[in-house]
Structure 1
Amino acid sequence: MTGSGRTRQGRAGSFPPRFEEALLSVRDTPRPRGLVLEEVPGPGRMAPFTAALTAETVQTVNEVPVGSGRFVILYDPSGQRAWHSDFRMVAMVRARLDEELHADPLLSSAAWSWLTDSLADARAGYHALVGTVTRVLSETFGGLDLSDACGHAEIRASWSPNTPDLGPHLTAWYELILVASGHEPARVRPLSLAGTPR
């Protein structure tokens, strides 16, 4: 993830050192197999500086990715009271679920634990975590007949990182997409994280 035309800037070509440090930490984060990534424009009204990334699983059902998501970095040099920080991470993950799991009454708490476990596994220090888990039933109609129906879980969350090193947070998001999609955790760790508690 870079600032070349994809990151909203206060002045053309101008990035605060802390934000540039954060972008470099994300750029250097190892990427797991099984995901197709795309850098996209960050939201323009949430902070003076933003960056964003989307991902989809290589695995599909009926040509639709089993899992997908969006990862957003917000930076306000002045900080924002609600963030308790100058940085804020915003993440969304949507994953297709089998019928049994979608009907499980414990799905919401389990899905939230996928997020918190992913952050813990990646040693991503954070605070002020908030979010929601939503069950979605999608029905696709062909003419007048129901041709496909499936359940999804949507995990939406935001949190404030403890440092500008955002690599562990990106790793946690990768892992969350894969776990929610029924895969084993990616277990991708930058070498600089080895043995270093967050």
Structure 2
Amino acid sequence: MIGTGVPGGGTAPSRAGDPADFTAAVTSLQAAAVRADIEVGPIRPPQRLAPYSYAVGAEVRTGEPDDVPTDSSGSAFGRLILLYDPEGHDAWSGTIRLVAYIQVDMEADLATDPMLPEVAWSWLTDALGVPEGENETPASVGRATGQPMLTALGGTVTSTSSVRYGDIAGPPRAHQLELRASWTALDSELDRHLEAFCEVLATAAGLPPTGVTALHSAD
């Protein structure tokens, strides 16, 4: 069973003293429906960012399934962190803040495309149901479509390149896309937020849509 967060940022089995909204939020994360080619599991949340916290790691499967590590070195992975402050937070405009991080290896032609940041950000806003140029899901739209209910969305997209020299493993040149974002959930139904997060990870990693099998050329 995935444990819930406790004051101070640790993780532990659910406790009677945990706030009901926080417990419901963690339980809803555990109930998220995630595609089989993405491995999701609990990781240690960051310390002292909020009175209550919880985090999951997600990684695209590349072979036999393994436990999701806290610090992944795979080609496509991410973290989704739940921060909860029962007193509310002015900067959040709410009590539940989600912090997302995704890193994906990219092909050189994609990594150097000047439109990549805009496209990558649109992957996130589309998955969350946020209209272009806005930072929240209209309440009427979210309720009608079952999309995540959120506000105060913000973040950055970074494309990086590295060159390896000497006796070091890996390709001579590597390119990565990093997406960092945070938003405030307007209710404790966070399964839809995690599902949207995994949808962005799948899109960034180039996975085919669910139910579609990728065809590979014979050697």
Common fold by TM > 0.5: yes
Conservation of the 8 A alpha-carbon contact between 1:70 and 1:91: yes
Conservation of the 8 A alpha-carbon contact between 2:6 and 2:18: no
Partners in 1 of 2:35 and 2:104 — Cα distance? 17
5+ long unaligned stretches in structure 1: 188-198
- Secondary structure class of the residue paired with 1:30: coil
Partners in 2 of 1:185 and 1:115 — Cα distance? 16
Tell me which of 13, 19, 35 is aligned to 1:32. Answer: 35
Cα RMSD after superposing both structures: 2.5
Tell me which of 108, 119, 128 is aligned to 1:119. Answer: 128
- Secondary structure class of the residue paired with 1:141: coil
- Equivalent residue for 1:2? 2
CA deviation string 1:142-180 (max 9, x = no partner): 428994212111000000011111110000111111101
Tell me which of 91, 102, 107 is aligned to 2:116. Answer: 107
Relative to the length of structure 1, the TM-score reads 0.83
Tell me which of 68, 83, 103 is aligned to 1:74. Answer: 83
Partners in 2 of 1:40 and 1:129 — Cα distance? 23
The verdict on how the C-alpha distance between 1:56 and 1:144 changes in structure 2, with shifts beyond 3 A counting, is: closer
Q: Percentage identity across aligned positions?
A: 33
- Equivalent residue for 1:163? 187
Structure-to-structure mapping, 1:1-198, within 5 angstroms: 2-3=2-3, 7-9=5-7, 13=15, 14-59=17-62, 65-120=74-129, 123-143=147-167, 147-186=171-210
Relative to the length of structure 2, the TM-score reads 0.75
5+ long unaligned stretches in structure 2: 64-72, 130-144, 212-219
Conservation of the 8 A alpha-carbon contact between 1:94 and 1:155: yes
Partners in 1 of 2:103 and 2:162 — Cα distance? 12
- Secondary structure class of the residue paired with 1:36: strand
- Equivalent residue for 2:132? none
